[in-house]
Chain A
Amino acid sequence: GQQVMQIPQYQHVQEGEDFTTYCNSSTTLSNIQWYKQRPGGHPVFLIQLVKSGEVKKQKRLTFQFGEAKKNSSLHITATQTTDVGTYFCAGPAGGANSKLTFGKGITLSVRP
């Protein structure tokens, strides 16, 4: 079945450093979503990307969908302690109308 992969599972950065993480799918995705889960919290939707090569920005966060629609990236500029949490990507497993499959997430810690 379709897999959505995020490696590594943990990353530690110094506050102010940039951070980039990637999400790779074994199959072409109709769309990809990103979620953030703060420690002790629940996943919260950040963004959805649909078009090949699409780039979207939310303040210091930049999301990109690959040209082949099989990978995506999240880049955070000048990390802050408020960025700590686990970032998940998710894509529909069996086509546009199917269930979301989540990657294992990357947990970001930021040293002040």
Chain B
Amino acid sequence: DTAVSQTPKYLVTQMGNDKSIKCEQNLGHDTMYWYKQDSKKFLKIMFSYNNKELIINETVPNRFSPKSPDKAHLNLHINSLELGDSAVYFCASSPPLPMAGELFFGEGSRLTVL
């Protein structure tokens, strides 16, 4: 069983479109994250949710809106896609703070905006 699964794995779309990426974890973790990895492989945190509540919201355009329907799911919706949004988006989960330990990453969703 995949611990952290993301869909879709690949997404190619035109500028201006809206798209969503879904993430699910079966590890029983309370905390989930979205990271963006650019072409230079820099991993930057975007959002973090703890038990469905937003706890980290980095300086991310408000075109990006996370949603956590329950603690096992964290979805990412992106409006009005721009060329610069092209990247690999990783979902991750971890044990809850203050036990914060390793991050378990999903396989990533590669978004290409044309």
Contacts and interface: CB of A to CB of B under 8 A. Distances in A.
Interface in B47-89: 48, 56
B41 A37 contact: yes
Given A43-B105, A44-B105, A97 B90 contact: no
B90 A43 contact: yes
A59 interface: no
Main secondary structure of the interface of B (DSSP, over half): loop
A41 B97 CA distance: 27
Main secondary structure of the interface of A (DSSP, over half): strand
Contacts of B98: 96-97
A97 B105 CA distance: 19
A107 B105 CA distance: 19
Contacts, number: 47
A45 B104 contact: yes
Interface residues of A, number: 23
A72 interface: no
A105 B43 contact: yes
Contacts of A35: 103
Interface string B94-112: 0001101111111110000
A100 B56 CA distance: 11
Contacts of B102: 33, 45, 48
Given A104-B41, A107-B41, A42 B101 contact: no
Interface string B4-47: 00000000000000000000000000000000000011111100
A101 B33 CA distance: 13
Interface of A: 9, 33, 35, 37, 41-45, 48, 86, 88, 90, 92, 96-97, 99-102, 104-105, 107
